[in-house]
Structure 1
């Protein structure tokens, strides 16, 4: 049978979004928003540079390389990352975060002048009524800050992305006034921010349509970004909804690290866009990207984390293992990688793994023996390992299996 006949894809029925014809850019926020997570470490510049190169390897289009207005350490890191991009001619664009105040924008302008690297300023300010009330702001004050900051940035030769914080809880009329002021002042990109992870996919669609219609009515060449958090668990779904509604760029972080519970997971976004036919760049370096992030930030990747976790392509279940083994026996790698996996392990440089556990069948045992150089037809050995697994409350480790093999072989040896 052909591969198309083996999987009926409800995701691609007539009327579905044509991802293959969609082109969306990705902005990696790991080195800025990601490092705002209260449980992570701010890594040394060498590790940040290593991660920057991995972003390039994955075909990520842009990176937020920091908020230099935060202080000397942040400023030094941004300068080093900018120089790395220039010195190695890395094919990745760079942007820096800033409050809508000149004091935050000025160091970005100095770094651009020092390195020659074109930088985009992500100038952010709260726009929701709840934020206005808490801060004792009114819309006129926000508008004045917006105009002054953007005009200053443009005057310094910087590109500007105007970020309305808490966009997903902001009034349409307020957003319209802010977008107008920003575009008139010279912003060439607006960013819709789900700052507290409030939005649902339906809300994202409405907001993106509103923003795109507003921008189209201005006649200006202004792009629209989506920046989402995952407080309600909708991060990835919201990002895909934004893409389907036509945003130009989506922001995300490695492993979803970020403020509170974090942002859209760049790794999972890459996998999904790759499978949907939108991101055609190889993503086999994805495990390295996640490993470096975890190591440098001092976070642990859960064993059941999709695609990257230790258990992503690992099974000890008899029924699952039997299907994978039968696929292997057909000599069809494509089939083996998909019969019990929605994500092919091979696209991220991994393989399907079969273990021996309390829910395993004899097929698991024989498979393990073959893969590790033992005789799968040794019935005494198979029976011993099978009985051991059934008595345990966990998946057997390599050491436990080897010890049992040694015991059985010792009993079988002639005296």
Structure 2
């Protein structure tokens, strides 16, 4: 039977969005800037930052925010080191740096760009919502003047500019249009729409992106790209990213494990998973688990056991019905089938595999599978002994616990040397 006959995909029935029309959407990794603004993360050493940069490049992430050099000497040193790494190793990933819409923040980007010999996109940002304007006592006139001065300065100094409006999802249409139009007239060729506080729903995202494309980009007559940068305060970050892609955004921002301010940013790892599943990302993602693991370790962010795809439990089951189905699929000699029978994401794409364990919810097939896989053969009496122990426990057994149970049976059973852990 053909694989296409084994899954009826309701995601593609009448009225579904045609994702093939969105090939070419890019990703911008904010792990090393916005991600590090979380008060709960550790700023990694430069060696780990460089390793993460290489993994981003290998995973096909188009660009990365490598820091905010206006923050101080350490930030400048790290930005320079990362930019130099891109040049020295001829990495394909393109660097950008955050900056407020003030010359003092842009000048360090200019200095590093000229020193290293690489174009660094200046991501100049300014708040745009009425609530921010009220708190800051900003007038629109003042904001437009700051925009004009900063963008013009960056362009004159030879930097490509991404003009970023913070809190765009709570800003008025008139303000959004005025700010972006001014930035484009001053030379910005990329604008970034931001859900800075995680306010938006997918409907709101679509309305906003459509407004920016129709009312700002098209009338400008310029080749201006639109980015989407969203936060996960409502838990909608990845969903909102997909909505932005549907509506025509050219580049999407995210961070490893979703780290960042408050509840964090859209999860870059999950964006890659979803874009891969949708056919929008053609790169090899087998090292994505390494990217997640390194980010978790370097930033000292624990990886939740139930984190999609990369959490400890993502491809792990102790349930009898689930395990039996996987085992039957493996018995058919069909790895594709075994990797999808109880998984919406194929583990093999990411260098991972299905794991069958023994718990109070297990069937006898779990025990037979585990014992055989660990070198104990097919002794049915031993299998019954382990199965009985499982039914009286209150948790999923660790491998060490099952080995101990086997040793307690009939004087101690040992696995064969060939299959022993």
What TM-score do the two structures reach when normalised by structure 2? 0.97
Identify the residue that residue 363 of structure 1 maps to in structure 2: 365
Instruction: Summarize the alignment of residues 259-278 of structure 1 with structure 2, pairs less than 5 Å apart.
Output: 259-278=261-280
Identify the residue that residue 210 of structure 1 maps to in structure 2: 211
| Residues 201-256 of structure 1: CA deviation (Å, up to 9, x unaligned) | 00000000000112112111111000000000000000000000010000000000
Q: Are positions 1:21 and 2:11 aligned together?
A: no
Identify the residue that residue 77 of structure 1 maps to in structure 2: 78
What is the distance in 2 between the residues matched to 1:147 and 1:34? 28
The Cα of 1:135 is off from its aligned counterpart by: 0.6
| Residues 70-100 of structure 1: CA deviation (Å, up to 9, x unaligned) | 0000010000000000000001111000000
What is the distance in 2 between the residues matched to 1:79 and 1:31? 13
Identify the residue that residue 294 of structure 1 maps to in structure 2: 296
Identify the residue that residue 177 of structure 2 maps to in structure 1: 176
| Shift >4 Å, 4+ stretches | none
CA pair 411-312 structure 1, distance change in 2 beyond 3 A: closer
What is the distance in 2 between the residues matched to 1:18 and 1:333? 29
What is the distance in 2 between the residues matched to 1:14 and 1:278? 20
Q: Is the 8 A contact 1:21 1:278 kept in 2?
A: no
What is the distance in 2 between the residues matched to 1:212 and 1:127? 18
Q: How many residues align?
A: 412
Could you tell which deviates more after superposition, 230-239 or 18-27? Answer: 18-27
| Residues 282-336 of structure 1: CA deviation (Å, up to 9, x unaligned) | 1100110011101110110001000000110000000000000000100000000
2:261 match: secondary structure? coil
Identify the residue that residue 406 of structure 2 maps to in structure 1: 405
CA pair 368-148 structure 1, distance change in 2 beyond 3 A: same
Instruction: Summarize the alignment of residues 206-285 of structure 1 with structure 2, pairs less than 5 Å apart.
Output: 206-214=207-215, 215-285=217-287
What is the distance in 2 between the residues matched to 1:73 and 1:166? 28
Q: Is the 8 A contact 2:406 2:413 kept in 1?
A: no
**Candidates 321, 324, 330, aligned match of 2:323:** 321
1:312 match: secondary structure? coil
Identify the residue that residue 140 of structure 2 maps to in structure 1: 139
| Residues 133-166 of structure 1: CA deviation (Å, up to 9, x unaligned) | 0111110110000000000000100000000000
1:250 match: secondary structure? strand
Instruction: Summarize the alignment of residues 30-109 of structure 1 with structure 2, pairs less than 5 Å apart.
Output: 30-109=31-110
1:321 match: secondary structure? helix
The Cα of 1:20 is off from its aligned counterpart by: 2.8
The Cα of 1:56 is off from its aligned counterpart by: 0.8
Q: Is the 8 A contact 2:339 2:348 kept in 1?
A: yes
Identify the residue that residue 198 of structure 2 maps to in structure 1: 197
Could you tell which deviates more after superposition, 384-393 or 161-170? Answer: 384-393
1:81 match: secondary structure? helix
Q: CA RMSD in A?
A: 1.0
| Residues 1-45 of structure 1: CA deviation (Å, up to 9, x unaligned) | 211110000111243222233120000000000000100011110
What TM-score do the two structures reach when normalised by structure 1? 0.98
Segments of 5+ residues of structure 2 without an aligned counterpart are: 415-421
Identify the residue that residue 148 of structure 1 maps to in structure 2: 149
Q: Are positions 1:7 and 2:2 aligned together?
A: no
2:191 match: secondary structure? strand
Could you tell which deviates more after superposition, 116-125 or 402-411? Answer: 402-411
What is the distance in 2 between the residues matched to 1:391 and 1:210? 61
| Residues 338-367 of structure 1: CA deviation (Å, up to 9, x unaligned) | 000000000100000000001000000000
What is the distance in 1 between the residues matched to 2:361 and 2:70? 55
**Candidates 333, 342, 345, aligned match of 1:343:** 345
Segments of 5+ residues of structure 1 without an aligned counterpart are: none
The Cα of 1:374 is off from its aligned counterpart by: 1.2
1:162 match: secondary structure? strand
What is the distance in 1 between the residues matched to 2:58 and 2:21? 23
Q: Is the 8 A contact 1:119 1:159 kept in 2?
A: yes
The Cα of 1:264 is off from its aligned counterpart by: 0.3
The Cα of 1:412 is off from its aligned counterpart by: 8.1
What is the distance in 1 between the residues matched to 2:145 and 2:32? 30
Identify the residue that residue 417 of structure 2 maps to in structure 1: none
The Cα of 1:179 is off from its aligned counterpart by: 1.0
